[in-house]
Amino acid sequence: MRLSDRSVRTGLTVLSVAALCAVALVGGLAYRSTQVPHGPQHTQAVAVATPAAPRTAAAPEAEIAAEAAPPGVEMVPEAESPLPIELRKSVGHAAGLNKVKDPLRLVSSAAYAIDIATGEVLVKKNEDAILPMASLTKMMTGLLTVEAKLPMEQIITITEDDVDNERHSRSRLRVGTTLTREEALHLALMSSENRAAHALGRTFPGGLGQFVNAMNNRAKQLGMKSTTYSDPTGLSSKNESTAHDLALLATAASRQPLLREYSTTPRHQVALGGKTLQYNNSNRLVKNPKWDIVFQKTGYIIEAGMCITMNTRINGRNVVMVLLDATDKNSRLADAERVKRWVLAQAGADSMAIAKHTPGS
Are the C-beta atoms of residues 201 and 166 closer than 8 Å to each other? no
Count CA within 13 A, CB hemisphere, residue 125.
Answer: 26
With the CA atoms of 189, 116, 229 and 196 taken in that order, what torsion angle do they form, in degrees rounded to the nearest 10? 10
Comparing C-alpha atoms, which of 185, 227, 229, 230 is closest to residue 203? 185
Given 135, 169, 237, 282, which residue is catalytic? 135
91 by DSSP, 3-state: which?
A: helix
* 135 is known as an active-site residue: yes
Q: Is 138 a catalytic residue?
A: yes
The 10 Å Cβ neighbour count of residue 265 is: 17
Q: Is 236 a catalytic residue?
A: no
Alpha-carbon torsion (338, 339, 341, 346), positive or negative: positive
Catalytic residue among 90, 108, 169, 192: 192
At residue 33's C-alpha, the angle toward residues 29 and 36, to 5°, is 115
Q: Provide the annotated active-site residues.
A: 135, 138, 192
